[in-house]
Amino acid sequence: MIRKPIHVSLVVFPECDPSIVYGVFDTLWAAGRFMDIGQGVPPNAPLFEPRIVTAKPGPLQLVTGVSILPQDSVADIAHTDVVFVPNVMVGTRRDLQALDRSLLDWITRMHKGGAQLFAACGGSLVLAEAGLLDGHEATTHWSYAPLFRQHYPNVKLHADRILVQSGRGHSIVCSGGASAWQDLALMLISRHGGVEEAIRMSKLFLYQWHRDGQLPFASMIQNVNHGDAAVLRCQTWLAQNYERADVVTRMVKQSGLPKRTFDRRFRAATGYSPLAYVQTLRIEEAKQVLERGSVPVDAVGREVGYADAASFRRLFRRLAGMSPGDYRRKFQVPAFVARPTPERRPAPRRSVKRPPPRAGRVEATG
């Protein structure tokens, strides 16, 4: 008996970028089909039936300018097994409110009808805007975390994690940023095709699980548009003086405010306590040094303000999710990329020795 493929609806908004849409589609389309690619083995039964779904029929231009031709519109689908929401590129509350309400309503109806929800990267913002994550846990791209927390306070966000399962029977799964859709697709394959099939697909497409979470990839998002002049003055000063000792005390003096008032206003403006802000800024600077050169780790710690090497290493691991040495190995550009290929210079022209002129012969000049 041939099992019916799992119907997966990749719901596409105009705000989507095409890389995740096509990446997920190709991965799910291949699952179960090839036993030994390149070995002449005929295709096996497909595990999934992925379909690209939009609000209306016809080509849809995405945010990157690429047009996509959907296979279905929401009016064509009364039931689906899985709704997969790719990334949406948004930056403000207005962008979120502009998301197509007919697609949000359709996703909600499909979930109520039993569909599992898988959201990649900013796709979790779509689920949150639809109200499907209220009271649940989620993750998203680390750069979306401030926007997410500001507008969806009823969702417990784990911005450091790659995958978060929530909902009844773990029917909602979110993944973190960018290429974390690969982890999400492999989890979907594992659920319906088994671990071995997920491993096989990871080998076929050269996917790797992001076991270290999102912390190694995250960068500090500095809020400088908060309107608090005293805090902004301290942020500006700190950017040039973060390695100094007693830097928080110096910031309080810079602000001219009582310490308790400064602490309250600094957290309200930036989202960090003053100490956490300093620590995060220092580790961000350390990351950049580690990415660019071969300075010993302890020297990097001293450069950003930590004389105690052990304290620096502990703090780095807590904020970056891995040791400084592991971070360097993961993110430093390989030597064959960093070292430019020497230009081929033309071979020097040989100087031809000419015989001396014979007697009575006049050499031509000019």
Nearest to 46 by CA among 103, 19, 96, 7: 7
Conformational region of residue 154, where left means phi above 0, alpha means psi within -120 to 50, and beta covers everything else? alpha
3 state SS of 157: strand
Torsion sign (Cα): 158, 194, 74, 68:
positive
Q: Does the structural domain 229-337 have CATH classification 1.10.3720.10?
A: no
229-337: same fold as 6-217? no
Would you say 152 and 211 are in contact if contact means Cβ atoms under 8 Å apart?
Answer: no
Q: Which fold has domain 6-217?
A: Rossmann fold (3.40.50)
Residues in the chain: 366
Would you say 288 and 303 are in contact if contact means Cβ atoms under 8 Å apart?
Answer: no
| pLDDT over 90 (residue 335) | no
CA distances from 39 to 29, 157, 177, 193 (A): 19, 45, 35, 22
Look over the chain and give the mean of its residue pLDDT values, rounded to a whole number: 87
Residue 35's pLDDT is 56
Neighbours of 329 (CB within 10 A): 11
Mean pLDDT of 283-306: 92
Cα–Cα distance between 255 and 352 in angstroms, integer? 76
Domain positions in the chain are 6-217, 229-337
Of 8-17, 27-36, 164-173, 292-301, the one with minimum mean pLDDT is 27-36
C-alpha atoms less than 13 angstroms from C-alpha of 299 in its C-beta half-sphere: 6
For 88, phi and psi rounded to 5 degrees? -120, 140
Cα–Cα distance between 58 and 73 in angstroms, integer? 9
Q: If you search the block for the tokens 């003096």, which residue do you land on?
A: 253
Which two structure tokens, joined as six digits, stand for 127?
């689920």
Residue 33's pLDDT is 85
Residue 366's pLDDT is 33
**pLDDT tens, residue by residue, 115-156:** 999 999 999 999 999 999 999 999 999 999 999 999 999 999
Would you say 167 and 136 are in contact if contact means Cβ atoms under 8 Å apart?
Answer: yes
% pLDDT > 90, the chain:
66
First and final C-alpha spacing in the chain: 93
| pLDDT over 90 (residue 219) | no
Residue 362's pLDDT is 34
Cα–Cα distance between 73 and 244 in angstroms, integer? 59
Mean pLDDT of 210-215: 76
Cα–Cα distance between 319 and 310 in angstroms, integer? 14
Pairing state of beta strands 137-138 and 156-157? parallel
Residue 216's pLDDT is 74
**Confidence label for 340 from pLDDT (cuts 50, 70 and 90):** low
Helix or strand run (H / E) with residue 312: helix 309-320
**pLDDT tens, residue by residue, 5-58:** 999 999 999 999 999 999 999 999 999 886 555 555 455 789 999 999 999 999
Exposure of 363 by Cβ count < 10 A (0-12 exposed, 13-18 middle, 19+ buried)?
A: exposed
Residue 37's pLDDT is 52
Local structure of residue 246 (DSSP, 8 states): T
Cα–Cα distance between 312 and 320 in angstroms, integer? 12
Mean pLDDT of 281-301: 91
Residue 360's pLDDT is 36
Nearest to 210 by CA among 154, 139, 131: 139
